[in-house]
Structure 1
Amino acid sequence: MRSDPITEFDLTAYVDDQLGVDRRIEVESYLAERPAEAAGIMADLRSRDELRLALSRMPVPVSVRTNAMAGRLERALRRRVVIRRLSRAAVLLLVAGAAWYAQDDVRTLGVRPSVASAPPPGFVQDAIRAHGTSIVRAAMISQPEIATYDPAEILSATAIRVPALPDDWTVRDVQVFPSTYGPSLEMVLGTPDHGDISLFAARPGYFDVDPVGTVVDGTSTAAFWQVGEVAYALVASQQSREALERTATRISDDLR
C-alpha cells in the first residue's frame, strides 16, 4: 500500500528522471492501473528522449532538416511540460488561498520559506556578468565590436541555437567566450524599448524546459528561460521586470 498519493509533482519528476528508485516503482505501479494516463506519460518520455537524441547530435554539422525536427520536438515537449507545471501551480494557489481564508500560519503547509524564493539558476549570474563586461568592452576603443555572425556556424560550433530577433533590433556585438558551462554566446543588441540589451546563451549541463523567469541584481534585470539543453537570458540595465519578461517571452517563442 502506498504511503503517499501519486501527484503531478511525481509524474513530472518521473519524466525528468528525478525520482528515487522506491518512488519510481510506486509511480509505475500507479500508471499500470491507469492505461490512458500511462499513454500520456509514455508520449512525454518519447518526446524527451527524441529531443535529447536530436540535441546530442547538434555539435556535428547541422542541416536545415535536423534543425526543423529539433524545433518540432521542442514545441511538443515544452507544451506538455508547461501544462503540467501550470497544473501544479494552480494546486498550490488553491492550497494557499484556503490557508489564507482559514487564517492559518503558512508554516502549516510544510513549505520552507526558501522554496518560495528559490534563487535563479547559476547561468543567470554568468549572463549578468557578461552584460557588465559588454558595457566595459563597448567603452574601449581598442576592443572593436563585431556585429556580423552566422547562426548556423554558431549552432555547429557550440550547439547553441540563436533565436530570431525583432526586425527593429540592431546587432552591435557578438562574442563566443568561456563561461562556467563551457562556450557561451553573448550578443549586444540595440532595441527601441530597452536601449542596449544583452542576449546570453549557454549549455548549463542538464536538460530542462523552463518558462521565462526574472530577477533583479543591482541595476541589472535578467529574464531567463531554458529549452532542452540550452539556457538563455536577456539582461538590461534599469528595466522593469514586467517589460523585460514580455520581451523575453516573445524571443523564447521562436524556440518552441
Structure 2
Amino acid sequence: MKSLDPILSSDIEAYVDDQLGAARRIEVEAYLSANPEIAARVMADLSIKGELRLALAGTFNHGRPETREAARRLQSALSRGRIFRTLQKIAATVVLIGAGWVANAHLGASEVVASVHPPEFVEEAIRAHGTSILRGTMTSQTEVSHYDPAEIRSATAIVMPTIPKEWRVEDVQVFPSAFGPSVEMAVKGEKNLRLSLFAVRPGSFSVQPVTLVKQGNVQASYWQIGEVAYALVSSTPDGSLLKDEAESLSRSLY
C-alpha cells in the first residue's frame, strides 16, 4: 500500500531513532525497500547506533574518561536525530579507539582483528541445498519443476527472483526453517551446473549486497533486500561465477 504522505528526511531520522508508530514505520520500510541506496545509508546509521550502545554498555566502562565522555556526547546527538556523514565517521573512530584501547590494555595486542560470520539463514540455505541433492538421488521423491511465483508470494510473502531463460528448474519445495516457511529451488545452470536458490524471511529488515562465503566444498552467495533474504548455493569451485549469477538475480528483484 502506497503512502499518501511523502517520506521526508525527518521520517528517516525518526525511523533510525525508533520514534515512529507502527503504520508510519511500515510506510518508511516500504519506501526503503524501493530505494536501496537510501536503505543502505539507514542501515549504516543503525549499525553506528548499535555499536555506540554496546560500547557505552560495556567496553567504554573500562576506558579513559575522555573516551567515555566523547561517546556519551555522540550518543546524545544520535538520539536527537542529527545523524550526518561526518558524525558517523567520528562515531566510528571513537568506537575503534575505545576497542583498541581495551584490547591493548587487557590483551597486550597491537591490533584488533574481527571476523564476520554469515547470517544464520545462510546455514539454512546450505542445509536445504544438501537436502535437495539427496532428494534428487531418490526415485521415490517426486520433483516438481513447475512453480507459480505469484502463488509462492501469496502463501509465503516471499518474492522470487526472475530465473534466467537458460536455467532449467528441476524442483521447487517449500521447506520449514528456523525463520518460518522458506523456498528451495533446484536448478541446472550453464554446463549442467547444479544450483540451489534459497529464499526466506529472516525476521529483520536489511539491505545487504551480494556476499560470497565458502563452507567445505560448498559456496554460497547471499544477499538481502528488505524483509527477504536469498542465497545461491553450489559446489562449483568458481566462486566469482556464482557471485555474478547471484548479482544478476538480485538486480531482477528491482
In which range does the TM-score fall when normalised by the shorter chain? 0.5 to 0.7
Equivalent of 2:221, from 211, 220, 223?
223
Query: Aligned in 2, Cα 1:159/1:45: closer, same or farther, shift over 3 Å?
Result: farther
Q: CA deviation at 1:53?
A: 3.2
Cα separation, 1, equivalents of 2:230 and 2:196 = 10
Cα separation, 2, equivalents of 1:244 and 1:254 = 16
Query: Aligned in 2, Cα 1:215/1:207: closer, same or farther, shift over 3 Å?
Result: same
Equivalent of 1:53, from 9, 21, 26?
26
Q: CA deviation at 1:54?
A: 6.9
Query: Aligned in 2, Cα 1:186/1:82: closer, same or farther, shift over 3 Å?
Result: same
Do the aligned residues in 2 keep the contact of 1:181 with 1:203 (CA within 8 Å)?
yes
Cα deviations by residue, 1:63-99 (Å, 9 ceiling, x for unpaired): xxxxxxx6x75231x11133575x89xx7xxx9xxxx
2:86 maps to 1:117: no
Query: Aligned in 2, Cα 1:40/1:166: closer, same or farther, shift over 3 Å?
Result: same
2:33 maps to 1:74: yes
Counterpart code for 2:140: S
Instruction: Give the TM-score normalised by the residue count of structure 1.
Output: 0.63
Correspondence for 2:187: 189
Cα deviations by residue, 1:9-63 (Å, 9 ceiling, x for unpaired): xxxxxxxxxxxxxxxxxxxxxxxxxxxxxx64635767x988963799xxxxxxx
Cα separation, 1, equivalents of 2:208 and 2:185 = 21
Give the root-mean-square deviation of aligned CA atoms: 3.8
Q: CA deviation at 1:126?
A: 0.4
Cα deviations by residue, 1:160-211 (Å, 9 ceiling, x for unpaired): 0011111111100000021111110000011006701000001111111111
Decide which structure has the larger Cα Rg and report it. 2
Do the aligned residues in 2 keep the contact of 1:191 with 1:197 (CA within 8 Å)?
yes
Instruction: Give the TM-score normalised by the residue count of structure 2.
Output: 0.63
Sequence identity percentage? 43
Could you list the runs of 5+ residues in structure 2 that have no partner in the other structure? 1-7, 45-84, 94-102
Counterpart code for 2:26: L
Taking the TM superposition and a 5 Å limit, the aligned residue runs for 1:101-250 are 112-113=112-113, 116-192=114-190, 195-250=193-248
Cα separation, 2, equivalents of 1:234 and 1:200 = 6
Do the aligned residues in 1 keep the contact of 2:12 with 2:28 (CA within 8 Å)?
no
Q: Count residues with an aligned counterpart.
A: 191
Cα deviations by residue, 1:90-146 (Å, 9 ceiling, x for unpaired): x7xxx9xxxxxxxxxxx7799742xx3211000000000000011110011000110
Equivalent of 2:11, from 42, 52, 68?
42
Query: Aligned in 2, Cα 1:255/1:158: closer, same or farther, shift over 3 Å?
Result: same
Counterpart code for 2:11: M
Do the aligned residues in 1 keep the contact of 2:32 with 2:38 (CA within 8 Å)?
no
SS in 1 for 2:34: helix
Counterpart code for 1:126: E
Counterpart code for 1:157: A
Counterpart code for 1:81: A
Correspondence for 2:76: none
Could you list the runs of 5+ residues in structure 1 that have no partner in the other structure? 1-38, 57-69, 96-106
Identify the range of structure 1 (130-139 vs 185-194) with the bigger mean alpha-carbon deviation: 185-194
Query: Aligned in 2, Cα 1:186/1:40: closer, same or farther, shift over 3 Å?
Result: same
